A and B are shown apart, each in its own frame.
Chain A
Amino acid sequence: NAGVTQTPKFQVLKTGQSMTLQCAQDMNHEYMSWYRQDPGMGLRLIHYSVGAGITDQGEVPNGYNVSRSTTEDFPLRLLSAAPSQTSVYFCASSYAQGAYEQYFGPGTRLTVT
């Protein structure tokens, strides 16, 4: 099992550019989520999905879009990057909600200039 994989590991964007952060898991998990990690702020939930075709907003969804066409993949799209989106992004998955632990990918470090 590869677990949760994320690509790319590093990315530099200019303000206004768009890009997609890729996330995939091979554990047949129904629940997937995206977080951003900023110094002193812990992890903040951006979007999450409870299954293919179902997504919902988290705490900080503005500026990000997601879709979930398959169980395995959960890409995060930045439509028009802003310097405030400079952060480390983590994708996570779990078997289900509630009592189940989340498995995290290695992260994508994004810098927007």
Chain B
Amino acid sequence: AQSVTQLGSHVSVSEGALVLLRCNYSSSVPPYLFWYVQYPNQGLQLLLKYTTGATLVKGINGFEAEFKKSETSFHLTKPSAHMSDAAEYFCAVSLPGIGNQFYFGTGTSLTVIP
């Protein structure tokens, strides 16, 4: 069965510090990988995704993530946190060739301390 694990339901960083949000998945085949962000009282919006090709992908708002097949991970990073980054972040996977279901992690709430 497919699963997505996000380590740390709450992460706090100081403004200007590195942001690292962890995501691991379990799958027998490499999945498609996504990070979404949810601001309070809003729907989810895509930050970035990995489908094929370069394993380091860049997204909006300065975020990037690296697909590491050997570690079954897709961690999200940003070099310098901004107050506006405070939100809930969800990692998601989709299995290629299998109709269709997305699986979401349980989310990580990011707090940015001024």
Contact = CB atoms under 8 A, between A and B. Distances in A.
Interface in B1-58: 9, 32, 34, 36, 41-46, 49, 51-52
Interface string A73-111: 000000000000000001010000111011011110000
Contacts of A71: none
Interface residues of A, number: 25
Contacts, number: 59
B43 A90 contact: yes
A53 interface: no
Contact of A105 (B43, B49, B101, B102): B43
A45 B101 contact: yes
The list of the 6 closest CB pairs from A to B, nearest first, reads: A104-B43, A42-B106, A97-B100, A99-B51, A43-B104, A104-B44
Given A43-B104, A99-B49, A106-B42, 13 more contacts: A31-B100, A33-B102, A40-B106, A41-B106, A42-B90, A45-B101, A45-B102, A58-B101, A101-B34, A101-B49, A104-B45, A106-B43, A107-B42
